[in-house]
Structure 1
Amino acid sequence: MGLLDPQPPPYDPLEWERQPFGERARQACQAWAIQGYGTPIAVYSVYAIKVAFYVGMWALFCSFTPGLGDLRTISTWWLDPIAFQKAIVWSLLFEMLGLGCGSGPLTARYMPPVGGFLYFLRPGTTKLPMFEGAPLIGGTRRTAVDATLYAAALWLAIWTLVSPQILPEQLLALVVVMPLLGVLDKTLFLIARGEHYWTTLVVFAFAGNWIAGAKAVQLALWFWAGFSKLNHHFASVVCVMTSNSPFTRFRWLRERMYRSYPDDLRPSKLAAIMAHAGTALELGVPLILLFAPGGTWLIVGMVLMLMLHGYITSNVPMGVPIEWNVMVVYGGFALFWAHPEVTILDTEPPALAVFLIVMLVVLPLLGNLVPRAVSFLVAMRYYAGNWPYSVWLFRGESYRKLDSLVKSSGWVHDQLALFYDRKTAVGLVSKVLAFRMMHLHGRALPVLLPRAVENIEDYEYAEGEVIAGLVLGWNFGEGHLHQDQLLRAVQEQCEFEAGELRCVFVEAQPFGRGTQEWRVVDAKAGLIDHGELSVSEMRSRQPWEPG
């Protein structure tokens, strides 16, 4: 095997693709359990280099402020408040460029390895406006105005980063322009991690003591991430991550994640214990740091924080939110370790406190109770395994109609053909199917796919995540981005005939309820079927078993 060769699956991919769908699903899931995605080791080094670039550029931008930025004396300045402020602005710019979450081959993005600016600077690409159909701002294709405003946001961020001091007018401009971008295209507010970076910028711009407000943001990130895992989905996430981590390539360990490999791939007791421990850790960190006055309890909180994010980062989860985890760890030191005397009760003025209550309490709570109403990112339901998702089914080669869209990325098989032969490419893509079905919510597919089309063998199966990456230029587990609104935008431009494109849309499980809503939608004919699935019933089945 070469450095860029993926681990081959334990089946012949060309024979595999001729098998019935249920058999393909079984083989792919059993392969994932012991191989994960099969990512070449060299790919992980690319992500490591990207993290080094992220940290190095932060230091470079800090060097524009006198006394900061010299790596030889980093211990004297890395916790300086301006260094933290520049880290937030740089992180926002990094994500807006498409360099962070959702980049590279671990998100089915091979060539080019990023979307981001390749789409957002290009008029004619597809977008998802907040007010669909509204005059001037509600179109489905990016205009010169959209591209110019995006470019202006990049310039504002760069201007702020190269300034010796961060000026109030710079912060105010960034605070204003980010929601405007979100109105024109919801994708842009999400890719900029508005729930974290933009909210913190608002704190910088308006707080009397911004350390207090920034602490509130970071505590909310941890708390709601833990709260969202109070369900039966997270144990499957632990299984999927362990089977894919570059640091757990031990067959005996991966098999122990499941009840009885290869026939019973439901999470084992060990996986459930690990899931409960992870949830407790994610809830425990903010609770300890919220009340820690310093001393021993502060040290305990920081150690637990490092354990939490060290575990997440070492798994190199699909979606690769690596730089975001680096930023959160840095925030833990810059906010809590450096300023233990400041509490969130010091947040002022009152109007800012109200804003933070809405962003950090009301919206996340609503997102857990009514997930269809709020993005899982805004609700801070990170990596809980309880996400909305979609599957797009193209009859025959009708997916080629997507070639008429203005975009920078080709069909995934076409991207892979630049590096691999067809056999290797099919083997890799087979693992995308397994990734979805190995999660608890993915066990709905053997029930829903037959309701969507008469003969699944006549259709090309595609993850909505992959479609969003191709068409919108970004994908990061936000299933709402590749549901009805994107389907309407694609149909407007590609004009699929009835039956050529069917989509299965599955919503997240609301907190306190035992069901997940689903819909089957035809690109031309509209809603075909809908209903709810019992989560407890899905827990009783194998990923490939029909109901």
Structure 2
Amino acid sequence: MGFIEPDLPAVEPEHFLRLPLMERMRILAVNWAEHGFGSPRMVHTIYILKLIVLYALGGIVVATTTSHLPAFWHVSEWWNQPIVYQKVILWTVLLESIGIAGSWGPLAGKVKPMTGGIRFWARPRTIRLRPWTWVPFTAGDRRGWFDITLYIALLVSVAVALFSPGVHSDSLSAAVPGNTSGLVNPALLIAPIVLLVLNGLRDKTIFLAARGEQYLPALFFFAVLPFVDMIIALKLLIVVVWVGAGVSKFGKHFSQVVPPMVSNSPSVPFTWFKRAHYRDFPRDLRPSRIADVMAHVGGTTVEVITPLVLLFSTNRWLTLAAVAVMVIFHLFIVSTFPLAVPLEWNVLFAYATVFLFLGFPNWHGYGVFDLSSPWLALGLIAGLLIFPILGNFRPDKVSFLPSMRQYAGNWASAVWAFAPGAEGKLDRVTRSAKNQIDQFVEFGYEPAWAEVTMQQVVAWRTMHSQGRGLFSVLLKNLPDIDARTVREGEFLCNSVIGFNFGDGHLHNADFIAAVQREARFEPGEAIVVWVESQAWGSTVQHYQVIDAALGVIERGTWKVAEAVAEQPWLPNGPIPLAVTWTRPQPAVPAPAEIRDQQQHGHGALA
């Protein structure tokens, strides 16, 4: 891999693109196992510079200079100042809401331009996705000036709270005598809280992009709780996020996540170590025992046990060790550059671990049993647990982010299959980016290599549990699949609404219907297979086949155990599917272009 040049698969692109789809997936899955996405080092360097200069250094400079604290290089003077922590949270919310933190750049499917977010959400007629149809005054799926005003007002309100000096707090002075920097004015936090909720009711994309499921509770605690209760509530919040994420990794999915994540990490230079995460590279790409240990010892166990140690420990050395473990845990995730690129979030959590559990340790009166009221404790715990519990039992009702399944492998997902030439109809949709294939070409890739690169992302999906099911449904429903253009739903979603963080709910049937209003696909031109996350207590995942022009045309299930038992390229054919409903109409005929190619014995340059 070069600094500027990508690490492209060792194929001849024109010949490769004429191979059957699943043979292409086999070649690219094997390539991913050794090389990951193949991004040039320049891409990772850009991310590191953004993380260090814009986020970390920029955030600390803003927090210290607006709070009358010593310069940022005097770390010992500001690292445990509560107002710095508050402003780092606000800084993170601001960058996430603009779209220049998580889900930014090439690893998130944004090549030219690299920024989604504000370029879409401050533009009229772009797609907005309301979370619930029953909420009054939210009808429609296009952004108007009212939505843009709400969004800009959110950014302004966060900036005002961020750049304003602190105010005196009696509860802070009582707990930390001599503190002169104060806290963020609670009155200035009311507007960001209200506007984040209002924006979320109009468009769930903005709420999720701002990571409202985690930062909204923090802002609420800043605004209403006295200082000691605020610190303890923040500890409960971060522990719920950690433990929730750890618990969500129980089951069969997460072991599938670790091998392709390690394979994509530029910090792992040894090919033998990447191969060791697969049972028998290149013949068997299911997770090896090493991958299982990485997943459920280095991952699940750390995320469940270590946070509970931090929450209850009153031993200085045990707490210090637990803090070190969690900091290393988050820095390891940063080093792997996962495709949603949640780098800022992980750096924030590393700092939060040090600030909360060493800056205000349990043995100084900041333990969970030091809350001012047992009723407050019960209320906080109940409030923080309601969405993770509901979202895991009913994943169809709650986004995977409030459900705390951020990187568990148990995701709602989708793949799109276009008839030849039909993908171009997406250019009819009002948005601020072109199709990703065209972005790669404009960035300098030859068209055939741009197509191979886009298919590399599709192969990444096959390396996860739900990918085997999605492609099984495609193979069952589309006998012409080898002649179609197949696209990963999450990447496609990024080009249409400017954001995705692995949440399939952002490109579900509502999204497809919104796209169809402008794209105007003909029946059979755009077929989407979409699957919901596996619910607690269930052994299956529920899928839908959606024709963009007709709506849902099939529903069914597959068993998760049968999905994880197969290879990414399905050498034994589709896994068993249980069809539960079919639209009562004849099957959609293949478009004329595909029929013509099949008659002449050709595949497609997808």
Interval of TM-score (by shorter of Structure 1 and Structure 2): over 0.9
Residues 141-540 of structure 1 correspond to what in structure 2 (within 5 A)?
Answer: 141-165=142-166, 166-208=184-226, 209-277=229-297, 278-340=299-361, 341=364, 342-347=366-371, 356-418=380-442, 419-540=444-565
* Secondary structure of residue in 2 paired with 1:128: coil
* Secondary structure of residue in 2 paired with 1:110: coil
TM-score by structure 2 length? Answer: 0.87
Moved more, 375-384 or 341-350: 341-350
Residues 339, 440 of structure 1: CA spacing in aligned structure 2 closer, same or farther, 3 A cutoff?
Answer: same
Moved more, 69-78 or 236-245: 69-78
CA RMSD of superposed structures (Å):
1.7
* Secondary structure of residue in 2 paired with 1:373: coil
Paired with 2:455 and 2:487, the residues of 1 have a C-alpha distance of: 11
* Secondary structure of residue in 1 paired with 2:567: coil
Deviation at 1:524, TM superposition (A): 2.1
Deviation at 1:7, TM superposition (A): 0.3
Paired with 2:369 and 2:480, the residues of 1 have a C-alpha distance of: 59
Moved more, 241-250 or 55-64: 55-64
Deviation at 1:135, TM superposition (A): 6.8
Amino acid at match of 1:172: I
Paired with 1:125 and 1:69, the residues of 2 have a C-alpha distance of: 44
Deviation at 1:4, TM superposition (A): 2.4
Deviation at 1:250, TM superposition (A): 1.5
Amino acid at match of 2:249: K
Paired with 1:544 and 1:115, the residues of 2 have a C-alpha distance of: 32
Residues 20, 56 of structure 1: CA spacing in aligned structure 2 closer, same or farther, 3 A cutoff?
Answer: same
2:331–2:350 CA contact under 8 A, matched in 1 = no
* Secondary structure of residue in 1 paired with 2:399: coil
Amino acid at match of 1:148: T
Deviation at 1:60, TM superposition (A): 2.3
Q: Which is greater in Rg?
A: 2
2:67–2:83 CA contact under 8 A, matched in 1 = no
Unmatched tracts of structure 1, length 5 or more:
none
Deviation at 1:64, TM superposition (A): 3.5
Residues 69, 16 of structure 1: CA spacing in aligned structure 2 closer, same or farther, 3 A cutoff?
Answer: farther
2:64–2:84 CA contact under 8 A, matched in 1 = no
Paired with 1:133 and 1:396, the residues of 2 have a C-alpha distance of: 38
1:29 alignment partner in structure 2: 29
Amino acid at match of 1:299: L
Cα deviation, 1:53-105, whole Å, max 9, x if unaligned, reads 10122122213444425123122112100000001111111100111111111
1:40 alignment partner in structure 2: 40
2:470–2:531 CA contact under 8 A, matched in 1 = no
1:132–1:139 CA contact under 8 A, matched in 2 = no
2:245–2:303 CA contact under 8 A, matched in 1 = yes
Amino acid at match of 1:169: A
1:133–1:139 CA contact under 8 A, matched in 2 = no
Amino acid at match of 1:101: G
Residues 359, 465 of structure 1: CA spacing in aligned structure 2 closer, same or farther, 3 A cutoff?
Answer: farther
1:226–1:280 CA contact under 8 A, matched in 2 = yes
Q: Identity over the aligned pairs, expressed in percent?
A: 38
Amino acid at match of 2:427: D
* Secondary structure of residue in 1 paired with 2:541: strand
Moved more, 341-350 or 222-231: 341-350
Amino acid at match of 1:204: F
Deviation at 1:10, TM superposition (A): 2.1
1:127–1:187 CA contact under 8 A, matched in 2 = yes
Moved more, 294-303 or 257-266: 294-303
Deviation at 1:360, TM superposition (A): 1.8
* Secondary structure of residue in 1 paired with 2:165: coil
1:452–1:502 CA contact under 8 A, matched in 2 = no
Amino acid at match of 1:442: G
* Secondary structure of residue in 1 paired with 2:416: strand
| Count of matched residue positions in the alignment of Structure 1 and Structure 2 | 547
2:585 alignment partner in structure 1: none
